[in-house]
Amino acid sequence: MRTNLTRHLGALGLLAALLSGAATAGCAGSSAYVDWRPGLTSNDFDGLFELSRGEYEDFAERAMPNTVVDRAHGESRSDAGERMAALGERVANSVSADPHGYPLVGLDGEGHVALLAGDRRVEGEVDWLAITSGGDTQAAAVLLGRRLAVVHGGASTGVDLGSLLGPGAAGYRFMLLLENGELTVFAMPEVGGAITAYEPGYVLTFVPRPGTKQGWEVSVARVSVTL
C-alpha cells in the first residue's frame, strides 16, 4: 500500500508548513505511520509513503545547514567543536532528561557523548549531530550507534532505532528539520552516498508535551524515495 507522502505528513503533524498539495494515491486506513514504541519493526507497518526525488532533495537542501558532524560521510563543520561544547553546556545546565527514553545528558567539544538509559549512562563518540540555527527554539539530534537522542527547547528524549535500522544504523542518511515546533529526523537508506530509490526508510517526529505522563509525542512514518 503506497501513498504520496507530501499531503499525509501534514496529517501526521510532520513539517506541515513545508508540504505541498500533491495528489494522494493510496488506501484509507493504511498504517504507513505509527506511534513510536520500543521494539518497533518494519512488520508493524502495512503501508508506505512515497516521496519524489525532487521533494526529497528539497528536504535535504533545507536540512543541510543543520548538520554539524556526520562521521559515516566524513563530514564535520569547521565550528563543530564550538557548537558541540555549547550544546553540552546547555544540556548540563538547562535541559530536562526524559526518564522514559534515551536523552542526551553529556556532550563535549571533542564529540564525546553520553545518553541516559534508565539508571545508566551510554557513552561513546558522536556518529551524527545536527543543530538548528536561528529562530526562537534551538533543536538538536544526536546519533550514538543505534540510539537517537533529540533536544527540543528545555527537554531531551531519545529512542533505540536498532529494531528498525539494525545495529549501528549503518547505511542510512540522517537529517534534521524543525518546523512549527516539531522536530523531524529523516533516516533514509543509501548506497555509495546516494539515496536508494524505492527502499523504505523512516521519518520520525518528536513533539514535547509538557505536563503529560509521557512528556513527548513520537511518531514514525515509513517512507521511500521514487525516481
Rounded to two decimals, what is the model's pTM?
Answer: 0.88
Place of cell 551524527: 128
The C-alpha angle with vertex 18 and arms to 72 and 178, in degrees rounded to 5, equals 50
pLDDT of residue 24: 32
**Which residues, 6 or more positions from 136, have their beta carbon under 8 angstroms from its beta carbon?**
none
Residues 6+ apart with CB under 8 A from 201: 172, 186, 187, 188, 189, 222, 223, 224, 225
pLDDT at 74 (0 to 100): 94
Q: How many CB atoms lie within 10 A of CB 55?
A: 20
Bridge partners for 177 per DSSP: 184
pLDDT of residue 91: 94
Q: Count of residues for the chain?
A: 227
Spatial CB neighbours of 221, under 8 Å, sequence gap ≥ 6: 5, 8, 9, 12, 14, 32, 33, 49, 202, 203, 204
Q: Can you count the helices (H) and strands (E) in the chain?
A: 4, 18
> Which pLDDT belongs to residue 193?
84
What pLDDT shows up at residue 25? 33
When divided into structural domains, the chain yields a total of 1
Domain residue limits at 143: 2-226
Q: What is the pLDDT of residue 9?
A: 53
Strand, helix or coil for residue 68: strand
Give pLDDT, residue 136: 52
Q: Which residues 6+ apart lie within 8 Å of 132 measured at CB?
A: 66, 138, 139, 140, 176, 177, 178
d(CA 214, CA 187): 24
How do the pLDDT tens digits run along the chain, 227 residues long?
444 555 445 544 454 433 333 323 333 345 788 999 999 999 999 888 989 999 999 999 999 999 999 999 999 999 999 999 999 999 999 889 998 899 999 999 999 999 999 889 999 999 999 999 765 568 999 999 999 999 998 899 999 999 999 877 789 999 999 988 889 999 999 998 889 999 999 999 999 887 777 789 999 999 999 98
Report CA-CA distances (Å) from 135 to 52, 170, 172: 28, 32, 28
pLDDT of res. 174: 97
Quick one: pLDDT at residue 5? 53
